[in-house]
Amino acid sequence: MNSAATVSTDDFFAKVATKSDSGALRGDYSKADSRYVVQQDWAAYTEEEHALWRKLYQRQLKLLPGRACEEFIEGLASLDAADGIPDFAKANIALGKATGWELVAVPGLIPEQAFFEHLANCRFPVSVWLRTPEEFDYIVEPDVFHDFFGHVPLLLNPIFAKHMQDYGKGGLKAMKLGGLDMLARLYWYTVEFGLIQSKDGLRIFGAGILSSGGEVEYCLTSDKPLRVAFNVERVLQTLYKIDSYQETYFVINSFQQLFDDTAPDFTPYYERIGKLEPLAANTLLPGESNIAP
């Protein structure tokens, strides 16, 4: 479903090397270049795969009105991706015009350094393979549906796109500062599972939610999870769930807020929070309120 916990380069190569093990990554890395980029080979997708894409797309599309943020819905519409697995080269024309971003095809999860370097240079890595019909509702690693449907629409938004670039730069910096586990929580709770308070009410912008059949409704209406106002340092300290719906969602007020609040140098945050125990995913701190859906 998405990027899971941080994948160190060592873990990563261990996973690729032990392809037969259950923890192995499933993409074909044999043709990847030094940046882990491959050809999409759009012509090689089968009609069955395009049909599965259309089913996934239509299921998700119906869930979006009144739940996804407007920026996502608008971005998706301009990508013209309803008819089958999109050709990245075509999407890159729209993306280039809107924000200067470019999609690059990758075999699947890639090591963090390569991932951050792509983002820092306005390239978004999109997995080339599509899940199987058996995985319609749930997938562990990011496939082309999660990556494209979930992530690409907001890359057409200039402020969000700029945030993603800064996140990439921040990732490269965090690797040197020992802040990667903390920074990954920011990505998780915003880019993957973020909510936004819009003028019309609570909406979703996180790709992990928007590419999921069940969590779209759950995150907005269930009384089980917490919904807490976004605060950078709080998020950096908070553990997350990779194998269940989230126990806490953080709510931003605008993409500008996300951009501005993450603009400062994180060095002092890493120093301070690195010494603390991380907070469990279901924590509500004194003084925090649980935002009603």
Q: Does the protein bind ligand HBI through residue 101 (CB under 6 A)?
A: no
Q: How many residues bind ligand HBI (CB under 6 A)?
A: 13
For the chain, give me the number of helices (H) and strands (E)?
14, 6
| CB of residue 249 to ligand HBI, shortest distance in Å | 18
Contact string 183-212 vs ligand HBI (x = CB under 6 A): -x--x-------------------------
DSSP secondary structure code for residue 84 in this structure: S
| Residue 2 binds to Fe ion (criterion: CB under 5 A) | yes
Cβ neighbors of 10 (< 8 A, separation 6 or more) are none
Q: Judged by CB under 6 A, which stretch of 2-10, 45-53, 74-82, 197-205 contacts ligand HBI? A: 2-10
> Which of the stretches 3-11, 45-53, 232-240, 251-259 binds ligand HBI when contact is defined by CB under 6 A?
3-11
Helix, strand, coil percentages, rounded to 5, for the chain? 45, 10, 45
Q: How far is CA 123 from the centre of its chain?
A: 14
Distances in whole angstroms, Cα of residue 293 to Cα of each of 94, 117, 283? 34, 37, 18
Joined tokens for residue 226:
């917490």
Question: Between 178 and 201, whose beta carbon lies closer to ligand HBI?
Answer: 178
> Of these, 1, 3, 225, 258, which contacts ligand HBI (CB under 6 A)?
3
Contact 268, 176 (CB under 8 A): no
Q: Which of 109, 164, 182, 219 binds ligand HBI (CB under 6 A)?
A: 109
Nearer to Fe ion among residue 111 and residue 293 (C-beta)? 111
3-state secondary structure of 171: helix
Q: Around Cβ 235, how many Cβ atoms within 10 Å? A: 25
CA dist., res. 37 & res. 117, Å (int): 12
Q: Which stretch binds Fe ion (CB under 5 A): 1-9, 67-75, 88-96, 166-174?
A: 1-9
Judged by beta carbon distances under 5 to 8 A according to partner kind, the member of ligand HBI, Fe ion, none in contact with residue 211 is: none
Nearer CB in complex with Fe ion: 192/273: 192
> Tell me, what amino acid is at 258?
L
Choosing from 110, 120, 130, 182, the residue that interacts with ligand HBI (CB under 6 A) is 110
Stretch 172-211 residues interacting with Fe ion (CB under 5 A): 207
Question: Closer CB to ligand HBI, residue 64 or residue 109?
Answer: 109
**Which one of 71-79, 104-112, 208-216, 217-225 is the stretch in contact with ligand HBI (CB under 6 A)?**
104-112
Does position 142 interact with ligand HBI (CB under 6 A)? The reply is yes
What, of Fe ion, ligand HBI, none, does residue 184 touch, CB below 5 to 8 Å by kind?
ligand HBI
Please answer whether residues 143 and 129 qualify as being in contact, where contact means their C-beta atoms are separated by less than 8 angstroms: yes
Concatenating the DSSP letter of every residue in 90-154 gives HHHHHHHHHHS-EEEEESS---HHHHHHHHHTTEEEEE-----GGGSS--SS--HIIIIIIIHHH
Interface positions with ligand HBI (CB under 6 A) = 3, 6-7, 106, 109-110, 112, 115, 125, 127, 142, 184, 187
